[in-house]
A and B are shown apart, each in its own frame.
Chain A
Amino acid sequence: MRVLMFGWEFPPYQAGGLATATSGLVKGLLRNGVDVTLVVPFQVEDAGIPGLRLRSTVGAKGRWKRIRVPSPVQAYHTVEQYALQWEETKRGTGGRGNPYGANLFEEIERFAEIAEDIAAEEPHDVIDCHDWITYPAARRAAAVSGRPLVAHLHATERDRSGDGANPEIQRREREGVLAAHRIICNSRMMKRQVVAEYGAVPGRVAVVPWGIDEQVAKADLEVPRPFGDDAPVVLFLGRVTRQKGPEFFVEVARRVADVEPETRFLMVGTGDLLPRIIERTVALGLAERVHFAGGLSGPDVDRAFRMATVCVMPSVSEPFGLVALESLRSGTPCILPRESGVAEVVRHALRADFWDVEQMADQVVGVLRHRVLHRELQRRGAAEVRSPRFSLDEPARGTARVYREAMNVSTGGG
């Protein structure tokens, strides 16, 4: 089976979990005998994944003339945030390695144009794509090759932006979802949402939870102890945006510091809420307790997990939550958002409503105070995510099953 896949993020071009998820899926598919051609909108380098055919739309001659400029837009941004960050980019203070165009919608259109040509050249049995940003390209490709279309939905616009959702993005999301022969969500919660919001037919929506790379960071990884050896560290790791609930983390920090004053709080990640969060920590008298590490990647992420006694995820919306699997794999107990994909599949972790600051603080203090609780959560959580259920193979096999279903229905099977 050959799949033509359209992706928007891929390591190291990444803003969040989408890149990790895409690369994990690709690795798993290749290992399970599915040939993958991945089309991405940035300059292709060696992805370090043997067997993967990578194609870039950069430099390809679309019928649409354009000039490539550095862009601040990421899959997770609203158009307003985009405009703000575009200013930064123009001033030369923007982030590194960004795969996005100056005008997001123009960029998507260009990607779709070139997708048609690629679909005509590349042999494939099925087409897959990741989130709204790649849907137009995948649909155009399907129109050219006549192959069945599978759409991954990792997060909806409402997940990312809440009430500030962009109606144009929602329209594209709906169109893509309704055009696909099969939709793949990573949680039952997400499936309910796509059925309720976009009117997807439940029978066409498959749930395939994510797994993570079994390759654990090296045991001899040097873990810095910047706060002194004994101070427990409570970790927030994720984009500092409304979706991830960083403001709740700061309130939890205040409550925890009330009873465990030695505790340190580490916030890893960046985002539009960062200035507000920093101001809030100062206002709460936590300036010396909360530490901001900025965005980290690779082994630094593993170091952050290893430093932490417990990881807290107060996400307002978390369709899956790969961070939880990474945390548990590193032996760091985790407090999951009650409403999340990962909470549907992981047993040995604490869970709380994102707004329930008291409960999260109580759980954090519980883990800090009771060695035996920390050890049990650590041991059982790590053992759980090491099970085959959370490997890369299981989601890949589930995805391949959906590909076959899509191929059957599109050839008149039903």
Chain B
Amino acid sequence: MRQVCFYFQVHQPHRLRRFRVFDIGRGRTYFDDAANREIVGRVAAKCYLPANRTLLELIRRSNGRFRVAMSLSGTLLDQLETDAPEALASFQELVATGAVELLGETYYHSLAGLADEREFAEQVRLHRAALQRHFGVRATVFRNTELIFSDAVAPLVARLGFRGALVEGAPGVLGWRSPDHVYHADAAPDLRLLPRNFRLSDDVAFRFSNRSWSKWPLTAETYAQWVAAGDGASAHIFMDYETFGEHQWEETGIFEFLRHLPRALALHGVEPVTPSDLVAQSSVGGLRFPHPVSWADESRDVSAWLGNALQRAAHERLYRLGPAIRSCHDHELLERWRRLTTSDHCYYMATKEYGDGEVHQYFSHFDTPYDAYIAFMNAVQDLEQVVTADRALAWEAGIDNQLVGVSAR
């Protein structure tokens, strides 16, 4: 392959605390601010700061020829701003080099694209404003939450002005075709699609430190060779940014790997590009997504978030509250509700077995998926009650105003 596109997802949710049934109606916070602060601080120290430093050094050394893409969720930006400003500054420094492209997404890293078109558009606009404010840039390529994409989502993304989107290179979508080309969405022909090469991506994201893997230990040289050996035009390698230092610890040699990668790629004649470079190219064909596809779990669908009855019940209850929340015109309530739309809350409720189950449990701060469900439902119940009380007040206020109007006449 002549070109390679690296993209890193950078995201942290506002984790719920164990919001108990006894907390309902008492004006208590849903989120575990202390734990969230602790986690963001830890991940910043172990991953964001050292990885950003490494990337910055690589970009400078290559005079900007080493290029990557990132997306930073709004919930992460919020937390960096208050709890790890030095990490936010280092992201800003990276973006300022011009070699790091930022992608658009929903501010709250939510499943709104599957549930609520209006909310989806709203959250994408909020994220756009945040990129403008923190980085002074505008994203032209979109990456929906965890690469969730479908024929229904495609036109929404196109309508919001994006020229391309990142998608999972799922065998069910590609069939016999290679993920290593630029495609377009059949449901939105102007929208270019970059399918993820999950084999090359997972070699780093999941297998890098696995000692029982036949290719362990993986060197940058070997990896560059694999990338170069591909038949397609461009390899799209997408993963969590937390791969560097958090999922794969520093001791595994992941930073060394990253440090040697640009030179190894250059030796094999592979050019790093960004998504906006690629979406300017022509499409080799159209892709259809009759069912939603994502990069999560073995099944690469949305079952990581909506796979069991608990998750669906929680998701449906939350989005049912949407119209009422918006009609309150209360910024703080809306913000609370939107933080609950973050997909991670549903992810923690997954009850899958074996490999997938272990990955879910690794990310979850709850003991069991059932505890995640209980805390979430308690919080939604509280929010429902607040909204009902708020509307009752508003209604009474409305009556009062009318009475005033009548008597004044």
Contacts and interface: CB of A to CB of B under 8 A. Distances in A.
Q: Do A and B come from one complex?
A: yes
Given A366-B373, A373-B374, A358 B20 contact: yes
A350 B371 contact: yes
A132 B368 CA distance: 36
B22 A366 contact: no
B310 interface: yes
Contacts of A369: 21, 377
A160 to B, nearest CB: 27
Interface string A330-344: 000000001000000
Interface residues of A, number: 24
Interface string B335-379: 000000000000000010000010000000001101101100110
The interface centre, meaning the residue of A351, A370, A375 with most chain B CB atoms within 10 A of its CB, is A370
B310 A372 contact: yes
A365 interface: yes
A297 interface: no
Nearest to A343: B367
Contacts of B370: 350, 363, 366, 373, 376-377
B313 interface: yes
Interface in B115-152: none
Given A351-B368, A373-B373, A362 B351 contact: no
A303 interface: no
B18 interface: yes
Nearest to A365: B21
Interface in A324-383: 338, 347-351, 358-359, 361-363, 365-366, 369-370, 372-373, 375-377, 380
Contact of A366 (B21, B309, B351, B367): B21
Interface in B178-233: none
Contact of B20 (A348, A362, A376): A362
Contacts of A255: 22
A258 B309 CA distance: 28
Contacts of B308: 376
Contacts of A363: 370-371, 374
Nearest to A379: B309
Nearest to A384: B353
Contacts of B357: 347
Contacts of B313: 370, 372
A373 B351 CA distance: 12
A259 interface: yes
Nearest to A362: B20
A348 B374 CA distance: 14
A366 B368 contact: no
Contacts of B373: 366, 370, 373
A11 B371 CA distance: 37
Contacts of B309: 372, 375-376
Contact of A358 (B22, B310, B368, B374): B22
A362 B368 contact: no
Contact of B22 (A259, A338, A347): A259
Contacts of B367: 338, 350-351
A376 B22 CA distance: 23
A350 B351 CA distance: 13
A376 B351 contact: yes
B20 A359 contact: yes
A366 B310 contact: no
Contacts of A370: 313, 373-374, 377
Contacts of B20: 358-359, 361-362
A258 B25 CA distance: 14
Contacts of B378: 362, 366
The interface centre, meaning the residue of A259, A338, A366 with most chain B CB atoms within 10 A of its CB, is A366
Nearest to B361: A347
Given A373-B374, A376-B351, A359 B18 contact: yes
A363 B378 CA distance: 11
Interface of B: 18, 20-22, 308-310, 313, 351, 357, 367-368, 370-371, 373-374, 377-378
26 contacts: A255-B22, A259-B21, A338-B367, A347-B357, A347-B368, A348-B351, A350-B371, A359-B18, A359-B20, A361-B20, A361-B22, A362-B20, A362-B22, A362-B378, A363-B370, A363-B371, A365-B21, A366-B21, A366-B377, A369-B21, A370-B373, A372-B313, A373-B370, A376-B310, A376-B370, A380-B351
Given A351-B367, A361-B22, 15 more contacts: A349-B368, A350-B370, A359-B20, A361-B20, A361-B21, A362-B18, A362-B21, A365-B21, A366-B377, A366-B378, A373-B310, A375-B309, A376-B308, A376-B351, A376-B370
